[in-house]
Amino acid sequence: MRNFIAKRLLAVVLGFAATGFVNAAEVTVSAAASLTDAFKEIARSYESQYAGSKVLLNFGASGALLQQISKGAPVDVFASADQETMDRAVKEGLVAPADRKDFVRNTLVLITPADSAAAVKRLDDLRQPGMQRIAIGNPASVPVGRYTKHALDAAKLWAPLESRLINTQNVRQALDYVARGEADAGFVYATDAALMKDKVKVAFEVPLDVPISYPIAKTSASANSAEAARFVAYVSGPAAQAILGKYGFLKP
């Protein structure tokens, strides 16, 4: 009798699975815009590695993503392009300090349109008359903007150039402005510039005295904590690190 009941229960479970009533393990990941291409590939790799898993991706400026999480957006994993944003996530109790982990690094570069004839080899060259529109992520919410402001402040160029700066919502928008010739120059990550080698050229790497380090963590309110922790671990593992390296990211 017990064997009969067990078989009937198994048949019911299998039936639900076949008709879609059993939900696959899902993990929602909010990640910095600069991670878009790499994380899309990592998500496919993760789903291939773990049958039944599903990675839902949401990209944007790190500050905007944090604001979404603080307002209750159902996010399981948060990957920021800077430490400051993750520090705020910890301070607000959205992420546990022990759950954050640095997983990759990047570099800041200045780009110009591919057909630009401007000679720009250092930050001070941005003073020249031909550099009237300079794309920069909004420092209030976009990490690449904060890194840029830090570099310009150090070079005592923020005030002289401020009227020429065009704030963008994220690093990809700054890249797009330069690629379309709507900006004379722009500050982006090296990994972003590499995606449009036919439309933009790297003038130089911007000197910084702070590392561009990306932290990742499962959120405290994750509805699927185990799956979130597994994804975070996967991002730090060899398969995902190889993908990140392919897109130009540096090891932490």
Decide if 65 contacts 30 (C-beta within 8 A).
Answer: yes
Does residue 14 sit in the same domain as residue 93?
yes
pLDDT band at 25 (very low <50, low <70, confident <90, very high): confident
Does residue 233 sit in the same domain as residue 186?
no
Does residue 23 sit in the same domain as residue 75?
yes
Task: Examine residue 252 and state whether it is found in any structural domain, yes or no.
Answer: no
Residue 7, domain extent: 2-105+213-246
Residues making up the annotated binding site for molybdate are: 34, 62, 171, 189
- Span 63-80, mean pLDDT? 97
pTM score, whole prediction? 0.85
Q: How far is CA 213 from the centre of its chain?
A: 11
Q: What is the mean pLDDT of the chain?
A: 91
**Which of 30-51 are b and which e, b meaning 16 or more Cβ less than 10 Å from the residue's Cβ?**
bbbbbbbbbbeebbebbeeebe
Does residue 199 sit in the same domain as residue 233?
no
Does residue 232 sit in the same domain as residue 199?
no
> What is the total count of domains within the chain?
2
pLDDT of residue 110: 98
74-115 pLDDT per residue, tens: 999 999 999 999 999 999 999 999 999 999 999 999 999 999
**Which of 2-19 are b and which e, b meaning 16 or more Cβ less than 10 Å from the residue's Cβ?**
eeeeeeeeeeeeeeeeee
Residues making up the annotated binding site are: 34, 62, 171, 189
CATH of the domain at 230: 3.40.190.10
Residue 125 has pLDDT above 80, yes or no: yes
Q: How far apart are CA 94 and CA 86, in angstroms?
A: 9
Share of residues in the chain with pLDDT > 90 (%): 89
145-175 pLDDT per residue, tens: 999 999 999 999 999 999 999 999 999 999 9
Does residue 10 sit in the same domain as residue 82?
yes
Task: Examine residue 224 and state whether it is found in any structural domain, yes or no.
Answer: yes
Does residue 100 sit in the same domain as residue 115?
no
Partners of 200 in the β-ladder: 113
Does residue 113 sit in the same domain as residue 192?
yes
Beta carbons within 10 angstroms of residue 203's beta carbon: 22
pLDDT band at 19 (very low <50, low <70, confident <90, very high): very low
pLDDT of residue 24: 52
